[in-house]
C-alpha cells in the first residue's frame, strides 16, 4: 500500500512539474515575442496607454500667384496621458512641469488622479527638444501623438488674407476658414491672386503712413480691374497668423479693416455720382453749375469746405471736390437712378470676396431727398474698402465690373456693364485732372500718370459727426492713359505734427502715390515721359488746388 501511494504521489508531482514548466515556457515565449516586436518597431514610450489616433492629414499649402509659400503644415508632437496607468499623479505632474513651461502642477495632478478617464491632453505642439526631455523622464502612462500644425513663413505678410488654423487643423479665419474643405483634403496648393511683392509694398507704405500720421487704423487694396484679382489687401495693425491664437479677442490687430469693417469714405463717391449723371444723360460735360451758394434741402444746409469758383463744369466739380455741385448733379440724376447705380456697383451688398466676415454696408433707412444728397458725396453710407475698390474699378475696365477674388482661377470671370466705355474714359480724364490741378496732386508719380480722387469724411459718433476726427481716403486708377489697376488707401483719423486732423490730400493721397511708385515696375508698367499732360511741372500746385481740402 505504501509503495502504491508513493507511486501515485510521484506521478502527481511529475504532472504538476510538467504543467509549471509549460506555463513558464509560455510566459518566456510571450516575453520573447514582445521583445522581438520592440526590437523591430522601437520603443514608443507610451506602453499601456490606449492609442486610437488616425494618421494626421497633411493640410494643403497656400501660395501666392507666383508660387511663393505663404502657409504650410509641419509635424509636431502632442503629449497625452492615461490616468489609469499612472501610480503617482503628483510625481508625474511635477516631473513634467520641470521640462514643460506653463504646466499647472495642481490642475494636472487633479486630471491625472481621475482613474475613470482614459485620456488627458497634457500639452500640445511640443518642440523636438521638449519631446526628448519628456522621454528622458521615464514616467509611466504618457504617450505622444504626431499632429500637423500650420506655419506661416512670411509672418505678417498677407496675414489678414491668409487667416490661421486652430490646433485641431481647422481654419478659423481668412482663406484658411473659407477654403477649409479644399485645404483639409491635402491636395495641391491653394494659389491666391496675391502678389507677395505687391503685398509687401502695400503693407510697408500703410505701416509707414500709420507711423507718420498717427492713425487709429488703416486699410489698402490693390486690384486688377480687368479680372477682379486682388493683388494686395492689407489692414493695419497687421496680424501674424503664427501668433494669432495668443491675441485677446479685442486686440485691434484681429480686425481686417479692408474687408470686415465699413467706413463712410466721403468724396471718393463723387465720381460715381457724376458718372451716373453723364451715363444716364441727366447732365452733359458742358453743363455748368452755380456752386457759390449752399444748397438747402429740408432743414439741412450743404456747403463746400472751400470756395470753388463758379459756375463749375462736372470736371471742375470732381477736381475741386465740390459738395454743392455734386448734390446738384444728384438732384438732376434722381434718387431712383442713383440707387440703381450703387446697386449695380455691388455697394448695397457685402463684397463677395472669399474672406470670412466680409462686412455688409450700412445704408440709409430710406433714400429720401436729404439722404440721396449726402450719399452723393459719400456721407450716410458706409462700405468696406474692398467693396469700394471693386466699384471704382469700372473706371479702369471700360465701365464693366468684375467681382473681386482672392483665389487664382484660370477660368474667365464674368463681368457686367455698369456704365458705357465712353463714360468710363471721360471719368478717367476727370480723375486725371483731379490729380493734375485738384485735390489729388500729392498722389502724382512721375511717368505713371495717376488718376484719382481724395475723400475726407468726418467720423460718425453717437448723435452726429466728429469735428475733430476724419476718415481719409484716396482711390486711384493707373496708368491713366490705359488704366488697368486700382489702388485704394483708407486712413482712420490721420493727424498732423500738432495732432490735428488733416484732409486726405495730405496723407491718403501721398500714401497711394508711394504705393503706385513701388508697385508699377513690379507690374511691368513702363514709365512714360512723352506727351506731358501740361506744360507745367505736375507737382506744382495751382491756386485753386491750394484752396482745396477734400
- Omega before 237 within 30 of 0, i.e. cis: yes
CA 399, distance to chain mean position in Å, is 27
Return the C-alpha cell found at 368: 429720401
Instruction: Identify the DSSP state of 283.
Output: S
User: Residue 197: CA atoms inside 13 Å, Cβ hemisphere, count?
Assistant: 11
Active site residues: 267
* DSSP, residue by residue, 146-166: EEEEEE-TTTTTTHHHH--B-
Question: How far, in Å, are 116, 160, 177, 237 from residue 182 at the CA level?
Answer: 39, 19, 10, 29
398 Ramachandran zone, left/alpha/beta (phi>0; psi -120 to 50):
left
Residue closest to 434 by CA, chosen among 328, 509, 342, 331: 509
Cell 450703387, located at residue: 342
If DSSP states are collapsed to H, E and C, what string results for 435-499? Answer: HHCCCCHHHCCCCCCCEEEEEEEEEEECCEEEEEEEEEEEEEEECCCCCCEEEEEEEECCECCCC
CA atoms of 492 and 222, how far apart (whole Å): 18
List the end-to-end C-alpha distance of the chain, in Å, as a whole number: 128
Cell 479644399, located at residue: 182
Return the C-alpha cell found at 150: 500650420
Q: What is the CA radius of gyration of the chain?
A: 34
Amino acid at each position: 500500500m505504501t509503495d502504491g501511494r508513493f507511486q501515485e504521489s510521484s506521478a502527481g508531482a511529475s504532472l504538476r512539474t510538467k504543467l509549471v514548466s509549460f506555463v513558464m515556457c509560455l510566459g518566456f515565449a510571450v516575453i520573447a515575442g514582445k521583445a522581438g516586436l520592440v526590437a523591430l518597431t522601437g520603443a514608443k514610450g507610451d506602453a499601456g496607454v490606449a492609442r486610437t489616433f488616425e494618421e494626421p492629414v497633411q493640410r494643403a499649402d497656400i501660395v501666392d500667384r507666383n508660387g511663393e509659400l505663404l502657409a504650410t503644415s509641419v509635424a509636431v508632437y502632442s503629449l497625452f496621458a492615461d490616468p489609469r496607468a499612472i501610480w503617482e499623479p503628483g510625481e508625474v505632474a511635477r516631473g513634467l512641469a520641470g521640462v514643460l513651461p506653463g504646466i499647472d502642477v495642481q490642475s494636472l495632478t487633479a486630471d491625472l488622479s481621475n482613474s475613470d478617464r482614459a485620456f488627458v491632453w497634457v500639452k500640445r505642439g511640443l518642440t523636438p527638444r521638449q519631446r526628448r526631455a519628456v522621454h528622458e523622464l521615464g514616467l509611466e502612462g504618457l504617450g505622444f501623438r504626431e499632429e500637423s500644425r500650420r506655419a506661416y513663413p512670411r509672418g505678417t505678410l498677407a496675414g489678414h488674407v491668409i487667416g490661421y488654423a486652430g490646433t485641431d487643423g481647422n481654419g478659423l479665419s481668412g482663406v484658411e476658414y473659407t477654403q477649409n474643405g479644399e485645404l483639409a483634403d491635402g491636395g495641391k496648393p491653394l494659389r491666391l491672386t496675391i502678389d507677395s511683392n505687391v503685398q509687401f509694398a502695400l503693407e510697408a507704405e500703410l505701416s509707414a503712413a500709420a507711423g507718420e500720421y498717427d492713425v487709429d487704423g488703416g486699410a489698402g487694396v490693390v486690384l486688377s480691374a480687368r479680372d477682379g484679382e486682388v493683388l494686395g489687401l492689407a489692414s493695419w495693425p497687421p496680424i501674424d497668423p503664427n501668433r494669432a491664437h495668443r491675441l485677446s479677442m479685442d486686440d485691434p490687430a484681429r480686425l481686417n479693416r479692408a474687408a470686415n469693417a465699413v467706413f463712410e469714405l466721403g468724396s471718393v463717391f463723387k465720381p460715381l455720382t457724376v458718372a451716373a449723371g453723364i451715363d444716364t444723360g441727366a447732365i452733359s460735360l458742358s453743363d455748368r453749375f452755380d456752386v457759390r451758394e449752399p444748397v438747402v434741402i429740408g432743414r439741412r444746409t450743404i456747403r463746400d469746405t472751400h470756395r470753388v469758383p463758379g459756375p463749375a463744369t462736372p470736371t471742375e466739380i470732381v477736381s475741386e471736390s465740390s459738395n454743392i455741385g455734386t448734390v446738384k448733379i444728384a438732384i438732376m440724376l434722381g434718387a431712383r437712378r442713383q440707387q440703381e447705380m450703387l446697386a449695380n456697383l455691388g455697394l448695397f451688398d457685402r463684397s463677395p470676396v472669399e474672406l470670412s466676415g466680409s462686412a455688409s454696408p450700412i445704408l440709409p433707412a430710406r433714400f429720401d431727398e436729404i439722404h440721396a444728397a449726402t450719399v452723393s458725396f459719400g456721407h450716410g453710407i458706409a462700405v468696406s474698402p474692398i467693396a469700394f475698390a471693386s466699384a471704382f474699378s469700372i473706371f479702369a475696365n471700360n465701365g464693366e465690373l468684375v467681382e473681386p477674388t482672392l483665389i487664382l482661377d484660370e477660368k474667365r470671370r464674368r463681368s457686367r456693364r455698369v456704365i458705357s466705355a465712353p463714360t468710363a474714359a471721360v471719368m478717367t480724364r476727370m480723375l486725371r485732372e483731379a490729380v493734375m490741378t485738384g485735390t489729388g496732386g500729392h498722389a502724382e508719380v512721375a511717368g505713371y500718370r495717376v488718376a484719382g480722387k481724395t475723400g475726407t469724411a468726418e467720423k460718425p459718433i453717437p448723435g452726429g459727426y466728429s469735428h475733430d476726427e476724419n476718415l481719409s481716403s484716396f482711390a486711384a486708377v493707373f496708368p491713366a492713359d490705359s488704366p488697368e489697376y486700382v489702388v485704394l488707401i483708407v486712413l482712420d483719423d490721420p493727424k498732423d505734427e500738432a495732432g490735428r486732423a488733416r484732409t486726405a490730400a495730405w496723407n491718403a493721397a501721398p500714401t497711394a502715390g508711394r504705393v503706385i511708385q513701388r508697385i508699377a515696375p513690379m507690374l511691368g508698367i513702363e514709365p512714360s515721359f512723352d506727351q506731358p499732360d501740361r506744360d507745367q511741372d505736375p507737382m506744382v500746385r495751382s491756386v485753386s488746388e491750394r484752396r482745396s481740402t477734400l
